[in-house]
Amino acid sequence: MSTAPLDQLPEQKAELLQAIAGISTLEMLREEEPRITGKRSILSTLQRSLGSLDPDARKDAGATLQEVRHEVEAALAARRAELERSARSETLEVDRLDLGDVVVSSLKWPLGVGHPGLVASTQQELEDVFIGMGFSVADGPEVESDWYNFEALNIPPAHPARGMWDTFYVELGEPETVVLRTHTSPTQIHLMEAAVANGTLPIHSVMPGRCFRRDTPDARHLATFHQIEGLVVDRGISFADLAGVIETFTRAYFGADIESRLRPAYFPFTEPSAEFEITCTICRGEGCRTCSRTGWIELGGCGMLDPAVLEAVGIDGNEWSGFAFGFGIDRCAQMRHQIADMRALIENDVRFLEQFS
């Protein structure tokens, strides 16, 4: 059957694509767009002419014409994006100011030397303490899959423990759930997987880094905070080893007059589990607003690795055992420097920052 209205379609498509390629400015594109895809364009004229065809021929011709229209519109959109990028670059170049001479002439000499923020310097100090205790330092990504952040840590979907964290989820257009990590524990999973793959067990490592939870900021909590976790996987490890590490760290970092204590707790990835607290450094155990009048500040959690966690990464729990612990770097800074309200760490008050310069 004849499709006479579309006999010249290949040549007409080529002319339209050539015309699009020849557009050199956004203003020219706005002028040419109606002629290329508008109501009076050749494509629209051909669309109207399909009514003269019999039904079968009209269906085939319509599909062909629609395919050409999509190709032309895609070429037009690509050209528009290219011209917009070019125009934006030209605008930025025109607006760019070279302030080098102005800045240099306004500087007061000699220049002051910058210094790490309080949290960064606290992290460095903590790393030094643990390195002195025989630990290595490891790092991991801040954006994790659901597997590393939850499931490999014995927190499957719908597990009540997920209610402990109001999590920030990340939309990446992927089938697997992705989150901003709620703790640095996913790095433990990465380390154990690598050790199994490379045959490098045992593990004695700490993992500092930034974490995210939807906590309401108060005197002891921030939504974005820094955490350091420790992991030991070796033969013959017991809870006594864990308690010894906690006590050694507390006295090395906070001083001999600060005590630690462990009390029973629940964490899905350790069994048995404990929370460890230290004497409140603000009131020295007398009771204050920061410690909720208890004389103790919870520093973090700890416990023996749950067999399900070892199984998830392929470690034989009959041969190997271990423990993990974790606590807030921000909380350590608060206790070490007797800061009554943790929100001072993020308020950027120069008077506060200068105290730690």
Taking a C-beta distance cutoff of 8 angstroms, is the pair 219, 282 a contact? no
**Would strands 136-137 and 178-180 be described as parallel, antiparallel, or unpaired?**
unpaired
The mean pLDDT value for 268-293 works out to 88
At 1, is the pLDDT very low, low, confident or very high (cuts 50, 70, 90)? very low
| pLDDT score of 27 | 87
Q: Which amino acid is at 221?
A: H
| pLDDT score of 165 | 64
| pLDDT score of 37 | 82
Determine which of 4-18, 260-274, 309-323 has the lowest per-residue pLDDT on average. Answer: 4-18
Q: Which residues contact 346 (CB under 8 A, 6 or more apart)?
A: 217, 222, 224
Sheet containing 224-234: order of strands: 136-137, 203-212, 224-234, 321-328, 296-305, 270-279, 260-267
| pLDDT score of 7 | 73
Over the chain, what is the mean pLDDT?
A: 85
| pLDDT score of 174 | 64
Threshold 0.75, pTM exceeds: no
Answer whether residue 100 shows pLDDT above 70: no
- pLDDT tens column, 188-243: 999 999 999 999 999 999 999 998 887 777 777 777 889 999 999 999 999 999 99
The mean pLDDT value for 22-46 works out to 85
| pLDDT score of 136 | 95
At 259, is the pLDDT very low, low, confident or very high (cuts 50, 70, 90)? confident
- pLDDT tens column, 311-329: 999 999 999 999 999 998 9
* Among 27, 20, 23, residue whose Cα is nearest residue 43: 20
Give residue for tokens 């760290």.
Answer: 249
DSSP letter string over 23-76?
A: --SHHHHHHHHHHHHSTTSHHHHHHHHGGGS-HHHHHHHHHHHHHHHHHHHHHH
Region of residue 30 (phi > 0: left; psi between -120 and 50: alpha; otherwise: beta): alpha
Give residue for tokens 């271990």.
Answer: 322
Sheet containing 143-145: order of strands: 143-145, 178-180, 169-170
Q: Which two tokens stand for residue 227?
A: 């955490």
- pLDDT tens column, 126-148: 999 999 999 999 999 999 988 89
Residue 196 φ/ψ, nearest 5 degrees: -65, -45
The mean pLDDT value for 290-317 works out to 91
The sign of the CA dihedral 277, 215, 160, 307 is: negative
User: Can the peptide bond before residue 141 be classed as cis, meaning omega within 30 degrees of 0?
Assistant: no
Q: Which residues contact 106 (CB under 8 A, 6 or more apart)?
A: none
Q: Which residues contact 352 (CB under 8 A, 6 or more apart)?
A: 344
Q: How far apart are CA 186 and CA 192, in angstroms?
A: 10
At 98, is the pLDDT very low, low, confident or very high (cuts 50, 70, 90)? low
Answer whether residue 278 shows pLDDT above 80: yes
Max mean pLDDT range (43-52, 85-94, 234-243): 234-243
The mean pLDDT value for 98-102 works out to 56
Taking a C-beta distance cutoff of 8 angstroms, is the pair 272, 303 a contact? yes
Answer whether residue 352 shows pLDDT above 90: no
Q: Which residue has the higher pLDDT, 332 or 162?
A: 332
| pLDDT score of 76 | 87
Give residue for tokens 């002891």.
Answer: 220
170 strand-pairing partners: 178
Share of the chain above pLDDT 70, in %: 89
